[in-house]
Structure 1
């Protein structure tokens, strides 16, 4: 799938995503076609899976149907639907272990059961399934199967999911859903039942939302160093996704953490500015070493990673960093590097946050 032109099935997937996954659509424009096509198949399946559980009258039956669709996709006999066919092609082409989409379906099953999270660790376990697993699959699509790259991708998934939770507190509550850690709510003096019965903003709720965004920031930082491990032409798209979602949290912070009255958004102009900044950061080396997997994502990394045969000591890492700095200098001067023609590709005066 990766090197072939878009098929009618992929075009159907693209149309599906164009209607609602605006942040993915914006970031995907910076991905090369060899990555954008399988990524489109992946996100279309995620969208269909989420909608089936979210909108279905019988949520348990919806989860069972999704598991059956996975069975057929992995057997090479996908359901007769463009998304299923494109997804089956993608998992076969990129050797996606079944553990990863199974984890996604498990997270959706938790949603179907109305499961709440007593602690931030439980919230991380949920985010690992519904978002970290997707990040791991994207990393495999981009041709990286080492534990450090996968760990960083899972961290980015957790960060983005925590941003979603913080942004959607009011919308979720009005539908009877609550994803904030219950122990944090208790410490803030917020009764979950009372809050769901009458979702209102308060300084106490602001503190809980701010706390969750602080946790998201920690994972955005952890994920940042992994982007430089990706293929050069993949870095702008992933960096843009990271920056756009991070900007949602910062917009919410500027609004006083009130996600009850309104849903924080990032304007199209700002997204374009962040995309330009993502291009500018392409090829730059990471000064921090990628993190080890957190406990909640380790099962994903264990399922997908191919071990590095020779351990790398501290001295070798320093040499590799110096070499990377020198190579980055040479890379930026190449005609094919995104920065070589940045001026002709982007125009306007973008006000980008630091």
Structure 2
């Protein structure tokens, strides 16, 4: 079980570091909310260390070690690590899921860019859909159709984040919009990173990304009715709050370079209210046929891992794909030689 003081630390970290998640989590039952806060605090800590640190490769390798220790039952002596280890053991969390998150962070550390939307979705699957699958595990949900829709929701949220942060990412030297979109628009990606401007072509890319997010938000809704009743309002709230961020970008006419899409506390309260109504309606509405849509090709491995509890444990790294092994080998080599950032 999670220690009380560790949980209090995780709760405080989320309250100050992720207002949207904190707001949505308040609608979850305590049996799900507390482990979710612990899980999210660890994931947020991991993301922040890679995003904000200077030694990104070192940060990812350090996180790999922390996950190894957590699954070995010997977590590092830190609140987030102890809480995460307790959650992984209590809920039999498939290690493939946090490994996927770590792989996405490794891609960030090596400065990977993506040629097409599928590449962006592959990244989103790792840094966001993996969290959605882990949330399902916390709710006791192993149905592959519900898991597929949870992965849709995670991907939609990540696409929304990318659309909102185009300028901020560019000024940090990061590009998450598909490189092929820039080539098709006659824009050199390197020149854009050197001087990001909200041109009509770039705004069209942001709009295109949000359209894909909208499609996934709609697909994800079908899965909420398959969740435990007491958890539906919290997930509805997360869906509405993050979609609201996309709405703010639209109101800025898709300029996410000189402007930042922001949502107010009043708006969040309104979405939380809508979430309660939507969750109540789902109690009497039949399941939508959309729930049976196949998972995105980019998230299918997450669905398979979460749906098969017999794969929960095993030697650390069991089932790691060759690409993941290669990514970590490259990071270790770069860390050892002091090399510069890689780009795939």
Structure 2-normalised TM-score?
0.86
Contact 1:189–1:204 (8 Å) recurs in 2 = no
Counterpart selection for 2:256 from 245, 255, 259? 259
For residue 113 of structure 1, what is the aligned residue in structure 2?
A: 110
Q: Which runs of 5+ in 2 are unaligned?
A: 310-344
- 1:111-190 paired onto structure 2 within 5 Å: 111-190=108-187
Q: Does 1:213 align with 2:215?
A: no
Counterpart Cα distance in 1 of 2:279 and 2:50: 37
Q: Does 1:289 align with 2:290?
A: yes
Q: Which runs of 5+ in 1 are unaligned?
A: 308-354
- 1:316-327 paired onto structure 2 within 5 Å: none
Distance apart, 1:266 and its partner CA = 1.2
Distance apart, 1:176 and its partner CA = 0.5
Distance apart, 1:288 and its partner CA = 3.2
1:108-127 Cα offsets, whole Å, 9 max, x none, are 00000000000100000000
Counterpart Cα distance in 2 of 1:67 and 1:45: 12
- 1:217-228 paired onto structure 2 within 5 Å: 217-228=214-225
SS state at 1:189 partner: coil
Structure 1-normalised TM-score?
0.84
Moved more, 84-93 or 250-259: 250-259
Counterpart Cα distance in 2 of 1:72 and 1:102: 13
Number of aligned residues:
304
Counterpart Cα distance in 2 of 1:303 and 1:282: 27
Question: Over the residues paired in the alignment, what is the CA RMSD in angstroms?
Answer: 1.2
Q: Which 4+ stretches in 1 moved above 6 angstroms?
A: none
Contact 2:60–2:102 (8 Å) recurs in 1 = yes
Counterpart Cα distance in 1 of 2:143 and 2:107: 29
Contact 1:146–1:306 (8 Å) recurs in 2 = no
Counterpart Cα distance in 2 of 1:168 and 1:55: 15
For residue 306 of structure 2, what is the aligned residue in structure 1?
A: 304
- Which one scores higher on RCO, CA 8 angstroms, separation ≥ 6? 2
Contact 2:219–2:290 (8 Å) recurs in 1 = no
Counterpart Cα distance in 2 of 1:289 and 1:267: 32
Contact 2:252–2:259 (8 Å) recurs in 1 = no
Contact 1:13–1:82 (8 Å) recurs in 2 = yes
1:208-233 Cα offsets, whole Å, 9 max, x none, are 00000001111101111000001111
Counterpart Cα distance in 2 of 1:136 and 1:52: 22
Contact 1:147–1:306 (8 Å) recurs in 2 = no
1:198-254 Cα offsets, whole Å, 9 max, x none, are 111111111000000001111101111000001111000100000111111122112
Counterpart selection for 2:51 from 54, 58, 62? 54
